[in-house]
Amino acid sequence: MPAALELRDVRKSFGKTAIINGVNLAIEKGERHAVIGPNGAGKSTLFNLISGRFPVTSGTISLNDREITGLPPQDISRRGLARSFQITNIFPKLSVFENIRCAVLWATGHRYSFWQRVGGLRDVTERCDELVQQINLGKRRDTPAGVLSYAEQRALEIGVTIAGGADVILLDEPTAGMSNTETADAVALIRSVTVGKTLVMVEHDMSVVFGLADRISVLVYGQVIATGTPQEIRGNKAVQEAYLGTEQH
C-alpha cells in the first residue's frame, strides 16, 4: 500500500524543551488512523507540524510521496491535506454557509477573483448547500457561526475541514466536550464525510477510537511507542502500562 502521509524521524523542540522526539509514522491511503496518548504527549503538536502551522526542527513529512516539510499551511492545504482544530477555529461573524464557502471557493478555483459575483457561482452555491445539509446544519445555514451551540460549531469545524475536498483529513479531538448523544452524532458524521478518504484523528474517547479506527498509534513523550490494529493495541503491554492502564484507575 502506498503511504498517504509519511513522517520520518520528525522532531520538534520549543527552546530547549523537546516535544516530539523522532516520530516515524506511515498512514496508508484510505485508512482511518487514530493517534492516542496521555495529555502532553505531543498529539496536537504533531498535527501542527504535519499541517504546517509550526516548522519542524528536523525530519521530513511527505504527502502522497511529495515532501511538504517547511511549506506554509496554505500550500499544504492546496496539496490535499485539511485539518480541524481542537479549539473551534472558524469564522465567527460569517454564516454557516459562508464558512463552508471559504473552503469551497479555493477548491473550485475561484480563489482571489474580484470580477465574478460570488452569488452567481452556481457550482459553489450548490456544493456549499450540499455540505451544509451533510453536516446537518441546514436549519442554521444563514446563522453567524459565532452564535451556534458548541456541538454545532464542532460540526461546522468538520464541515470547513472537509469542504475543500482534501483526500487526507486530520481531525483534532472532534468529540471533545460532547455529550454521549452528541458524540454518537459526531462519529456518524465523521464516518459519512470521510468515506474514501484518509483520516488521521487525535481522540481521547476510547469508544470513539476503537469504534472508528482501522489502526492506532500511541504517542508518549513525543515518541510513537506502538502502532497497530485496535486488537493489537489493546493487547500491547507497553501501551497498557504507559497509557491505557492509567485510565482504568
Per-residue mark of binding to another protein, 179-218 (x: CB under 8 A): ----------------------------------------
Interatomic CA distance for residues 25 and 8, integer angstroms: 7
Interatomic CA distance for residues 63 and 55, integer angstroms: 16
Residue 94 found at the interface with another protein (CB under 8 A): yes
Burial of 143 (0-12, 13-18, 19+ CB in 10 A): middle
DSSP 233: H
Size of the site for another protein (CB under 8 A): 36
Residue 89 found at the interface with another protein (CB under 8 A): yes
Give me the torsion for CA of 229, 18, 45, 177, rounded to 10°.
Answer: 80
Whether the CB-CB separation of 71 and 52 falls below 8 Å is answered with yes
Binding residue (CB under 8 A) for another protein from 58, 113, 180, 246: 113
- Choices 30-38, 99-107, 132-140, 219-227; region in contact with another protein by CB under 8 A: 99-107
Least distance in Å: CB of 71 to another protein?
Answer: 11
Name which of 78 and 191 has its Cβ closer to another protein: 78
Name which of 44 and 183 has its Cβ closer to another protein: 44
Residue 164 found at the interface with another protein (CB under 8 A): yes
Residue 101 found at the interface with another protein (CB under 8 A): yes
Helix, strand, coil percent content, the chain, rounded in steps of 5: 40, 25, 35
- Choices 15-23, 35-43, 70-78, 214-222; region in contact with another protein by CB under 8 A: 70-78
Cell of 29: 491511503
Residue 54 found at the interface with another protein (CB under 8 A): no
- Report the Cα 53 to chain-centroid distance in Å: 13
Name which of 84 and 227 has its Cβ closer to another protein: 84
Can you state the angle between helices 150-163 and 122-134, rounded to 10 degrees? 140
Residue 33 found at the interface with another protein (CB under 8 A): no
Residue 50 found at the interface with another protein (CB under 8 A): no
Interatomic CA distance for residues 103 and 230, integer angstroms: 33
Task: Give the E-state strand segments of 157-231 in sequence order.
Answer: 168-172, 198-202, 215-220, 223-228
Task: Give the E-state strand segments of 120-162 in sequence order.
Answer: none
Residue 159 found at the interface with another protein (CB under 8 A): no
- Choices 57-65, 107-115, 130-138, 186-194; region in contact with another protein by CB under 8 A: 107-115
Residue 90 found at the interface with another protein (CB under 8 A): yes
Residue 141 found at the interface with another protein (CB under 8 A): no
- Applying CB under 8 A, the residues found at the interface with another protein are 51, 53, 72-74, 77-78, 82-83, 89-94, 98, 101-103, 105-107, 110-119, 121, 160, 163-164
